[in-house]
Amino acid sequence: MEEASAPQFHCLDGTLYDFFSGYNDLKNKKIRFVGEANQRIKEDFLRILRYFRFYGRIAERPDDHDAKTLEAIKENAKGLAGISGERIWTELKKILVGKYANQLIHLMYELTVNDYIE
* pLDDT recorded at residue 9: 59
Query: Residue 51: CB partners within 8 Å, gap ≥ 6?
Result: 31, 33, 69, 73
pTM of the model: 0.84
Q: What is the H or E stretch that residue 5 is in?
A: none
Computed from CA positions of residues 6, 8, 11, 15, in that sequence, does the dihedral angle turn out positive or negative?
positive
* pLDDT recorded at residue 8: 52
pLDDT (tens digit, 0 to 9) for every residue of the chain, 118 residues total? 444 444 555 577 878 887 887 888 888 889 999 989 999 999 999 999 999 999 999 999 999 999 999 999 999 999 999 999 999 999 999 999 999 999 999 999 999 999 999 7
Find the farthest-apart pair of alpha carbons in the chain and give their distance in angstroms, rounded. 48
Query: What are residue 17's DSSP bridge partners?
Result: 9
- Contact between residue 17 and residue 11 where contact means Cβ atoms under 8 Å apart: yes
- Contact between residue 88 and residue 117 where contact means Cβ atoms under 8 Å apart: yes
